[in-house]
Amino acid sequence: MGTITFVSQDGTAHDVELVDGESLMDLATSNGVPGIDGDCGGEAACGTCHVIVDDEWIARTGTRSDEESQMIEMSPECAANSRLSCQLRATPALDGLRVHLPEFQM
């Protein structure tokens, strides 16, 4: 169906199969992507699923909600394109998406 790539701090790329309707956090944890914990199970309440979306993709992923912002802005690594991956739904339009992992999760 497609691929989403999570890029670790050291540049290692982790490709996972895109599953329509799944959150990026679920895709990462079910595929063993290191650095995505998802401790709250996707409730936007822990901040352990932080990713930074490539600039070229932000128009397609959309920007974060106020609820997301409140959580993610507590991270010292918060960037303009930071998202909680549990709040990002995979769709076929995101085939090829690249997101970057922060050095540390909260």
Contact between 102 and ligand FES (CB under 6 A)?
Answer: no
d(CA 78, CA 71): 10
Contact between 74 and ligand FES (CB under 6 A)?
Answer: no
Contact between 46 and ligand FES (CB under 6 A)?
Answer: yes
d(CA 7, CA 100): 5
Q: Which of 38, 78, 90, 99 binds ligand FES (CB under 6 A)?
A: 38
What's the closest the beta carbon of residue 106 comes to ligand FES, in angstroms?
Answer: 9
Residue type, 30: S
Listed in sequence order, the residues at least 6 apart from 70 whose beta carbon sits closer than 8 Å to its beta carbon are none
Contact between 44 and ligand FES (CB under 6 A)?
Answer: yes
